Amino acid sequence: MNTAATGQDALAQIAAAEDLDSVERLRVAFLGKQGSISGLLKTLGAMSPEERQSVGPQIHALRESVTTALAERKAALESAALEARLAAETVDLTLPAPEAPRGTVHPVSQVMDELAEIFADLGFAVATGPEIEDDWHNFTALNMPESHPARAMHDTFYFPDASPAGGKMLLRTHTSPVQIRSMLQHGAPLRIIAPGRVYRSDSDATHTPMFHQVEGIVIDKGIHLGHLKWTLETFLKAFFERDDIVLRLRPSYFPFTEPSVEVDVGFALVSGPDGKSRRVLGGSGDAPGHGWMELLGSGMVNRKVIEFGGLDPNEWQGFAFGIGVDRLAMLKYGMDDLRAFFDGDQRWLAHYGFSALDVPTLSGGVGTPA
Ligand code: PHE
């Protein structure tokens, strides 16, 4: 037997194998149980010791070189396959990127941005105050006496600990304490709005324990109700993007304004395609098919409140107003359940939310929906 010729033939076949399957078939053919080289090894047992001594090393060397050649060919084919895969799978940077999940601006934030934009144009700055207030700022300085019903335990969320000054601490029930804080901090003249969260012990379809208000206050010389009416009318026309907004001022009572006026706005009942009728703001509430809806509280700032703000009421006058921000959002964008505002349901947010890139501006339209 010519092991050298057998070896050469085997190595040539291995070198010619073009894929991993062929290499495996050759391995079985040479080294498998029935393989040709395995067969040669078996013949050693039947040989005389002298013969075995001369042929044995040749057969072992043959097996060795075939085993090595098979392993090398296998590795070469594997790395070629990997190279080919890498070449085929390069990332095409010119492909459009997969769309990243995009959040939306909550309607309450959107409306607050719209308010800031509209009032900035009227010369108002934006002020803030703490949501955890003391009862002096929330009630006393706003001329609400100890006996006022809004101070009752069941209406307001109190904290067990007293303020450093000794007063009770509570979650503010309105944004009006910012009137006091702004007067004390900035003095007069003053022109601010103060949007933010407020809290009341209330919960049903139209009331949530937390909701949003925007306060407005102007303190200057010679300020009168006409300024209040013009400011509210100008603001509401800009906010609802309608020139036909009609206001009705009704005498009312708030301890911190004197006189106090409740402001109603005219609407039309318009039936939609679903057969349900909707209130659409605009026009006089006295026109046929129209009505008035209560929108906000306001009035001339009470002399006592101006004094609590550290100013002389003989020198300075002003007006103030407070509106529900959630209410404004519902009226403008047509949601009908207040509670959905605070559920955090992604589907609601995707439907009613606004694009973060679509910043409200007076020139671009403060209310352009996403
Ligand atoms: N703070 C009042 C409320 O929460 C609203 C208001 C503000 C009324 C300013 C008059 C002036 O109902």
288-337 tens-digit pLDDT: 999 999 999 999 999 999 999 999 999 999 999 999 999 999 999 988 88
From the CA of 174, give the closest atom in ligand 1. 4
Which of these, 219, 153, 210, lies nearest to 180 by C-alpha position?
219
From the CA of 142, give the closest atom in ligand 1. 1
Rounded mean pLDDT, 142-165: 87
Q: How far is the CA of 176 from the centre of ligand 1 (A)?
A: 6
From the CA of 176, give the closest atom in ligand 1. 1
> Could you tell me if the CB of 257 is within 6 A of ligand 1?
yes
> Per residue in 314-344, is it b (16+ CB within 10 Å) or e — as a string?
eebbbbbbbbbbbbbbbbbeebeebeebeee
> Could you tell me if the CB of 179 is within 6 A of ligand 1?
no
What is the rounded distance in angstroms from the CA atom of residue 44 to the CA atom of residue 148? 114
Q: How far is the CA of 339 from the centre of ligand 1 (A)?
A: 22
pLDDT digits (tens, 9 = 90+) for 97-149: 888 888 899 999 999 999 999 999 999 999 999 999 999 999 999 999 888 88
Pocket test of ligand 1: the residue of 202, 252, 256 to mutate, having most ligand atoms within 8 Å of its CB, is: 256
pLDDT digits (tens, 9 = 90+) for 192-245: 999 999 999 988 878 899 999 999 999 999 999 999 999 999 999 999 999 999
Please tell me the predicted confidence (pLDDT) of residue 370: 42
> Could you tell me if the CB of 174 is within 6 A of ligand 1?
yes
- Count CB-CB contacts under 10 A for residue 97: 6
Q: What is the pTM of this model?
A: 0.73
Assign 3-state DSSP to the chain and report helix, strand, coil percentages, each to 5.
40, 25, 35
> Could you tell me if the CB of 212 is within 6 A of ligand 1?
no
> Could you tell me if the CB of 214 is within 6 A of ligand 1?
no
Distance spanning both ends of the chain, measured CA to CA:
87
Q: How far is the CA of 44 from the centre of ligand 1 (A)?
A: 109
Which of these, 63, 61, 41, 62, lies nearest to 52 by C-alpha position?
41
> Per residue in 123-145, is it b (16+ CB within 10 Å) or e — as a string?
ebeebebeeebbbbbbbbbbbbe
Residue 156 neighbours by CB under 8 Å, 6+ apart: 150, 170, 171, 173, 199, 200, 201
Q: How far is the CA of 349 from the centre of ligand 1 (A)?
A: 29
